[in-house]
Amino acid sequence: MDNLLLEKATIKELSKKLSSKEISSVELTEAYISRIKELNEKLNCFITVTEDKALVAAKAADKRIKDGSDITPLTGIPISLKDIFTTKGVRTTCASKMLGNFIPPYDSTVTLKLKEAGAVILGKLNMDEFAMGSSTENSAFGVTKNPWDTLRVPGGSSGGSAVAVAASLSTASLGTDTGGSIRQPASLCGVVGLKPTYGRVSRFGMIAFASSLDQAGPFTKTVEDAALMLNAIAGHDAQDSTSINEPPPDFTEKLENGVKGLRIGVPKEYFIEGLNKEVEDSVRAAIAILEKQGAEVVEVSLPHTEYAVSVYYLIATAEASSNLARFDGIRYGLRVDNGEGLFELYKNSRDAGFGAEVKRRIMLGTYSLSSGYYDAYYKKASEVRTLIKRDFEEAFKKCDVIATPTSPSTAFKIGEKASDPLTMYLSDIFTISTNLGGNPGISIPCKISNDGLPIGLQLIGKSMDETTLLQAANAYEKHSGVGIITPKL
Ligand code: GLN
């Protein structure tokens, strides 16, 4: 199978080819596996490749297709998962030494749903340790490289998931987004990345970073594929009490409805100093395309945007410090038992198991929750979070979808921000508010910069209205002329 086919391959098209028996899932899976073998050394996006299991699943999918029963758009399609989703019998590391040998006895709900749909899982993808980061440099398994320029980061924390799709090592993948970790790497790698509404997708079996913000979502080459993936993973789950108890719609239903009559809000707080000029120009040009297609562009205001990064880094670290307390060498995780007594076992295990950024976050979070500081930090941050959520509710009285840049710049160089956590934190400035508000957001490629790097347009939707969000995103994709962009490798 030639590489060109994989580079342009979408779920939609491959599914047609599989149904008409033009190709088999085994052939397709073998083609991806051989491409992974060829390119993973260079890109380091897979932590674990599950070749044997994938071929077994591909055979089963081919049989399902031959029998003509129970076929879904994902049957036989090779995908891969961020290494944060538990996979029964397959190592799940969260890119941490702490879980370097963890083989879960169960599947996360999304893993199970994808398996049931007949998708073929090729392996587990690199990420920032415990999803903390914006560059995939914080992985215990080495940095993932951006396929557009391997001296640059792919973004993060779902860097491996973005690269697997951008470099055509999977038709689609799954990542998680707590403060931008799907949308920002999608933007930096030139693919589509969708963060659904908080609670739309079950978090069961997804290793927790900040439970009130975490949400799973797909990376794909097209908006339509993102809708197909969301169809497969969305829905209430009794095992996750925060998953929304409402049957999800068919997210492909209104894809072709266009933007005529839709109001696109442009928040002035997102076009600020520090935003790269070329990124700004491309996003404004993208908005003009939507306007030309009949959308009405309105200015909106999200006045508390300037507090979002601070609020996020108080809430996310507080939740992380609590979630990560279980990794103590006794209940979970790496055990280093070379000291004296229980306390030293905890201390030595956590010291050896966690990387620098994870430790920094645990300390920040523990501090902001500690007595005497709780009111000043965590509680205050929670109050401001409510104001940010209200900003969106107010803005969405005036518009149906909000358009902004996804990231203030294109992919930065490996090492460029690694020693300065604050600069790194600022790279999520446009994505974080969406998580604080719970709203869905998507990043779509909108241009290749003059120095050959992808730029992303972010669209943000009303809570629970992925349908309109995808409709607007699809209209943009169809009329932008950008198409599927692929790096030369
Ligand atoms: N970059 C942000 C952080 O480091 C967001 C991470 C994420 O969404 N998982 O917290």
**What is the arithmetic mean of pLDDT over 449-460?**
98
456, part of any domain: no
Please write the tens of the pLDDT for every residue from 102-130: 999 999 999 999 999 999 999 999 999 99
Would residue 69 show up in a list of annotated catalytic residues for this protein?
Answer: no
Position 2 scores a pLDDT of 67
Among the listed residues 187, 41, 176, 66, the one whose alpha carbon sits nearest the alpha carbon of residue 118: 66
Q: Is 157 in the pocket of ligand 1 (CB under 6 A)?
A: yes
> Around Cβ 256, how many Cβ atoms within 10 Å?
11
In the predicted model, what is the mean pLDDT of the chain?
A: 97
CA of 135 to the centre of ligand 1 (A): 9
Q: How far is CA 336 from each of CA 92, 322, 362, rounded to the nearest angstrom?
A: 20, 21, 19
| 181 labelled catalytic | yes
**Residues 404-429, mean pLDDT to the nearest whole number:** 92
Q: 271: pLDDT confidence band, cut at 50, 70 and 90?
A: very high
Q: Which atom of ligand 1 is nearest to the CA of 432?
A: 5
Q: Is 168 in the pocket of ligand 1 (CB under 6 A)?
A: no
Residue 377 lies in a domain: no
Mean pLDDT of 237-253: 97
How does strand 120-125 pair with strand 46-49? Answer: antiparallel
Among 403, 407, 405, smallest CA distance to 153 is for 407
Q: Of all residues in the chain, what percent carry a pLDDT higher than 90?
A: 96
Compute the average pLDDT of residues 420-444: 94
Contact 428 CB / ligand 1 (< 6 Å) = yes
Give the phi and the psi of residue 203 in degrees, each rounded to 5. -100, 5
Phi and psi torsions of 204, nearest 5°: -65, 125
Q: Is the CB of 158 under 6 A from ligand 1?
A: no
In this predicted structure, the answer to whether residue 426 has a pLDDT above a threshold of 90 is no
Mention every residue, 6+ apart, whose C-beta is less than 8 A from residue 17. Answer: 23
pLDDT (mean) for 328-346: 96
- 94 found inside a domain: yes
Per-residue pLDDT reduced to its tens digit, 42-81: 999 999 999 999 999 999 999 999 999 899 999 999 999 9
Which CATH number belongs to the domain containing residue 232 in this structure? 3.90.1300.10
Domain that residue 105 falls in: 3-258
For the Cβ of 349 lying below 6 angstroms from any atom of ligand 1, the answer is: no
Return the ∠ at Cα 364 (arms to 359 and 370), rounded to 5°.
120
Question: Do 228 and 14 form a contact (C-beta atoms < 8 A)?
Answer: no
The string of pLDDT tens digits covering residues 138-148 is: 999 999 999 99
Q: Does a structural domain hold residue 450?
A: no
The answer to whether residue 407 is domain-embedded is no
- Exposure pattern of 466-483 as b/e (b: 16+ CB <10 Å)? bbbbbbbbbbbbbebebe
Instruction: Give the CA distances from residue 140 to residues 128, 279, 361, in Å, rounded to whole numbers and listed in that order.
Output: 8, 32, 16
Q: Which of 80, 157, 168, 368 is catalytic?
A: 157
Ligand 1 atom index nearest CA of 357: 4
- Contact of 149 with 169, CB cutoff 8 Å: no
In this prediction, residue 414 has a pLDDT band, given cuts at 50, 70 and 90, of very high
157 is catalytic: yes
CB 316 less than 6 A from any atom of ligand 1: yes
- 10 Å CB burial of residue 100 (0-12, 13-18, 19+) is middle
- What is d(CA 226, CA 219) in angstroms, rounded to the nearest whole number? 7
Give the number of domains in the chain.
1
d(CA 67, ligand 1 centre) in Å? 44
User: pLDDT digits over 284-330, tens only?
Assistant: 999 999 999 999 999 999 999 999 999 999 999 999 999 999 999 99
